[in-house]
A and B are shown apart, each in its own frame.
Chain A
Amino acid sequence: ETGVTQTPRHLVMGMTNKKSLKCEQHLGHNAMYWYKQSAKKPLELMFVYSLEERVENNSVPSRFSPECPNSSHLFLHLHTLQPEDSALYLCASSPSGGIYGYTFGSGTRLTVV
């Protein structure tokens, strides 16, 4: 399998639930990213991992918890979310930083009820 794969494609969760989003890449890339895309604020960078180490956290609330167990996998653990967290969550990877561009997954459409 090639490219960046995200699961699930759609997720509906209650505010008290705990769920996780998964991202997987088989491109040999060293960096992985989580983006949030909502109608009000398109493409907000949430987290950056480089060689499995978190190198950026853009003031994201603690109810979002990323995990990068290896260079091919990235998770976003969700707990006690709010309705305003409903958005498209996109994962991306790159060989090293941004100069080569990113390869994006198809995203997870999250609805918090």
Chain B
Amino acid sequence: AQKITQTQPGMFVQEKEAVTLDCTYDTSDPSYGLFWYKQPSSGEMIFLIYQGSYDQQNATEGRYSLNFQKARKSANLVISASQLGDSAMYFCAMRGLTTGGFKTIFGAGTRLFVKA
């Protein structure tokens, strides 16, 4: 069965510091994609970063990077130089062949609080 686990319900970080949000996954698919989304208090889900299971390098998008450790089945999000606007819920998600390529499963999320 496909599963995404985010073990940190809430995280605090000081402004300008880096923070890592944990995500582990379980799948038997040989090919899958991993995603991170940000959900501010307004509710909209904002796509942040994507990592393919066969990608050799860790994905990066500006201040966001994905620490992909395939053998450990982890896909942690690293936010560098945190800003007050980073305070939000963050969701890890996965899509793979088992889900027919059409369904994405989401973790329960981690709420990040950035302190001034």
A binds B: no
- Chain A interface (Cβ within 8 Å of chain B)? none
